[in-house]
Amino acid sequence: MRIRSPVVCVAAAVTASGLLLSACATEDYVNQHVAAVNARVDQTDMNVAALGSRVGTLEQRVGGAEQAAAGAQRSADAANAAAAAAAKGHFVDQVLDQQSVLFDTGKSKLTPEAQMTLTALAGKLKDDNRNAFIEIIGHADKRGGVAYNQKLGARRALEVRRFLVDQGVSLNRMEILSYGEERPKDDGRGKEALQQNRRVDLIVKG
C-alpha cells in the first residue's frame, strides 16, 4: 500500500483551488464586459427607436403641410372660378373683339409677336373696354396625342392669361378653355395650316 506525502497532497489542493479561483475570476470578467456591451446595445436600440419616432412625427407634419397646401390651391382655384363666373354674368354676350396669337410647335411660351399683340389688347381693354369679359381658348395642331394636345392648349391659354394679368387686366375678367386639337382653324396638313392651329383665341365680350 502506497502512502502519499502530505506535502504533495497540500500542493495539489492549493493548485486546484488556484485554478478554480482563476476560472471564477475569468468568468466574472467576461460577465462584466458582456453586461456592459448589452447595456450599450440597449441604449443604441433606445436611440434608434427615439429617432424613428421623430422621423415619423416629421413625416406626419410634412404630409399635413402638403394636404394644407393642396387644399389652399383648390380653394384659390374655386374662388377664381367663382369670381370669373360672377363677373361673366354681368356682361352681355356680345362679341366686341376677337384676336389670336400663334405658338411654336409643342410650345406654350409666348413669341415676341404674341407679346406685342397681347400688350396692345391689354391697353385697349384698360382704356376702351374696362367692363369687357375675355374668353381665352387654347388650341393645338393634330400632331401628338389627344390628351397631350388638350393639356398643351390649356398651358397656352394659361400663359396668355398670366401675361394679361401682368399687363394689369383683372383676373376675374378672364376665363380659360382648351379645345386641344378638336377645333382646327385650318383642316389642311401643310406647314401653314398647322401654324394656324397652334393658337390661342381671345374673344372679348361685353
What is this structure's pTM?
Answer: 0.56
Mark whether 98 and 132 lie in a shared domain. Answer: yes
- Of 51, 204, 197, nearest to 133 by C-alpha is 204
Number of domains composing the chain: 2
- If one counts every other C-beta atom within 10 angstroms of the C-beta of residue 60, the result is 10
Could you count the other beta carbons within 10 Å of the beta carbon of residue 17? 10
| 178-201 residue pLDDT tens | 999 999 999 888 899 999 999 999
Last residue of a domain, one of 44, 72, 88: 88
Whether the pLDDT of residue 158 is over 90: the answer is yes
Question: Which CATH number is 185's domain given?
Answer: 3.30.1330.60
As a whole number, mean pLDDT of residues 74-82 equals 63
Structural domain range at position 153:
92-205
For residue 3, pLDDT beyond 70: no
Of 88, 108, 131, the last residue of a domain is 88
Lowest mean pLDDT among 21-25, 47-51, 91-95: 21-25
Mean predicted confidence (pLDDT) in 144-159: 95
Q: Residue 132's pLDDT is what? A: 86
